[in-house]
Structure 1
Amino acid sequence: MKYTGSCHCKAVQFEFESAPIYDALQCNCSICIRKNAIMSKECFGADRFRLLSGESFLKTYHFGDHDVHHYFCQQCGIYPFHDTLYQPGSYRINLGCVNNIEPRDLSITYFDGRNEL
């Protein structure tokens, strides 16, 4: 199934292929709890994820050990996805940015990123 998504202002647009999405992931680390993002459980590599537009609008935020690249639109501030040093180019998607998905209706797994070593 092909999903499409964007930041709020639509400067950053992307698509990815996935089986139908019924579950999600939510983390309680200091940045995720503030973003309140509901993310894809799966990471999507270059074979299934494509940035359609807005690369020049994307900025990256790092904190702590700098192992996660949190991408956000510099125009509207929305976080559409991130990747990690451990899986560069393999993106976990902010499901709130995906068209035709209601993230709060999904089965959410909670990840204790606050206490994870």
Structure 2
Amino acid sequence: MSSLKSYQGGCHCGAIQFQISCEPITQGCQCNCSICRRKGATMSAQYFDEHFSLIQGQESLQCYQFGDHAVNHYFCKHCGIYPFHEVSDVPGRYRVNLGCIERVSLERLQIKTIDGASF
């Protein structure tokens, strides 16, 4: 019997909708690099293609890269919300913004800090 749960997520305006299938979400992470610190997002564990599905909104996604271009930071071109990112040198490896997931209370999560400023 699988313990995977299905979670729905999306941007603020609804143009971008995605789904992840994973163990129940009890943890998140925050990175202290310059972009993540400014976004203030609480991120998920890493998910691969088989657990992440973009349901709608491919045409509404815009990508931002900085520095070494190691990460494709996606945001909605309509409302500006950052729903997820993908590692550019390993396509199909994602982290989602847990603030964009329905039924997840950020206040109840155990949050780990990633020292991205030192990468």
- Measure the CA separation in 2 of the matches of 1:73 and 1:111: 25
The unaligned stretches of length 5 or more in structure 1 are: none
Question: Residue type of the partner of 2:43?
Answer: M
- Of 29, 50, 55, 1:52 maps to 55
Q: Secondary structure at the match of 2:103?
A: coil
What are the superposed Cα offsets for residues 54-100 of structure 1, whole Å, 9 maximum, x if unpaired? 00000000011111000000000000000112321121010000000
- Measure the CA separation in 1 of the matches of 2:7 and 2:69: 29
- Counterpart for residue 78 of structure 2: 75
- Of 64, 68, 76, 1:65 maps to 68
Higher helix proportion: 2
- Counterpart for residue 12 of structure 1: 16
CA displacement at 1:33 relative to structure 2 = 0.4
Question: Residue type of the partner of 1:43?
Answer: Q
The unaligned stretches of length 5 or more in structure 2 are: none
- Identity, in percent, stands at 48
- Measure the CA separation in 1 of the matches of 2:95 and 2:116: 15
- Counterpart for residue 114 of structure 2: 111
